[in-house]
Amino acid sequence: MPRQPFIAGNWKMNKTIGEGIALVEELKGMVAGIDDVDIAVCPTFVALAKVGDAIRGSNIMLGGQDTFWKESGAWTRQIAPGMLLDAGCRWVIIGHSETRGRFGTVEDELERVLSYFGEKDITVNMKAKAAFAAGLTPIIACGELLSERQAGRTDQVIAGQMKIDLDGFAKEDAMKIVLAYEPVWAISTGQVCDAEEADRVCGLIRAIVKDMYGADVAEAVRIQYGGSVKPDNAAELLGKPNIDGALVGGASLKANDFVGIINGARA
């Protein structure tokens, strides 16, 4: 069975509720009838429910940008997977480098410790399991820093993340997981990863999945590439055998650009 391409827009900390509704209203008309690409948008938490109302009945799905591993309780700031489901989500991004607190270089790690969330592989794994338990499907992101790539450690970093992030799922859940290879140095920099190299790392990720869960799961799992995907580089990336979609940041904020990428998956 060929894997259906999946293009997800991660709006990050952009768009008010009104702006988000306006964007999906525009998108709805432009993607109506497309059934050979899965399409999702991931607005901020506060915009989820309203954007979810606006896309109900369309072929655009809703995703959260993060979640927590507890169902409810005294966890200030956190959003439970069941709450995302309740708001209309079907997907949730987990382990994005911005929630892992991985930016730029290893030197920037101090900033991560002081200012950001410092997600760990073990919490990525716990969140993904909690997402399945609530009826969501996780999109798990991984990727290396520039300094790790320059030190020739890319494959080791990716394997280290994947082995913990993907540990211990039921096989039927593992099959549904979406993985996103997002080299940190390519995110929001305009410096896209070379398509051959992105395909090579996505192939490595698929091989790790095969080791952990077998060939049938590795064949079924969709692996997105993320990091400066734009309409003009989408078709080349999405044409590669191991790249099954894209996790799109900046270019998902404009309907024309996002649709250009969706069309790249159909080229």
**Element housing 247 (H / E):** strand 245-248
Residue nearest to ligand PGA (CB): 249
223 binds ligand PGA, rule: CB under 6 A? no
Q: Which of 43, 101, 250, 264 binds ligand PGA (CB under 6 A)?
A: 250
Q: What is d(CA 49, CA 226) in angstroms, rounded to the nearest whole number?
A: 25
32 φψ region: left (φ > 0), alpha (ψ -120 to 50), beta (else): beta
92 binds ligand PGA, rule: CB under 6 A? no
What would the x/- binding string for ligand PGA be over residues 136 to 175, using CB under 6 A? Answer: ----------------------------------------
The residues carrying an active-site annotation are 96, 182
Exposure b/e, 161-175, CB count within 10 A at least 16 = b: bbeebbeebeeebbb
Sign of CA dihedral 57, 87, 139, 230: positive
Minimum CB distance to ligand PGA smaller for 85 or for 229: 229
Q: Which of 166, 193, 247, 261 binds ligand PGA (CB under 6 A)?
A: 247
5 binds ligand PGA, rule: CB under 6 A? no
Q: Which of 188, 194, 216, 239 binds ligand PGA (CB under 6 A)?
A: 188
182 binds ligand PGA, rule: CB under 6 A? yes
CB-CB neighbours of 26 under 10 Å: 15
Residue 47 tokens, joined: 């915009």
261 binds ligand PGA, rule: CB under 6 A? no
Query: In 116-225, where does DSSP find H-type helix?
Result: 121-134, 146-150, 154-165, 171-174, 195-213, 215-220
C-alpha dist (Å) from residue 30 to 60, 115, 252, 261: 11, 39, 14, 12
Q: Which of 187, 198, 237, 259 binds ligand PGA (CB under 6 A)?
A: 187
Minimum CB distance to ligand PGA smaller for 10 or for 154: 10
Residue ranges in contact with ligand PGA by CB under 6 A: 10, 182, 187-188, 226-229, 247-251
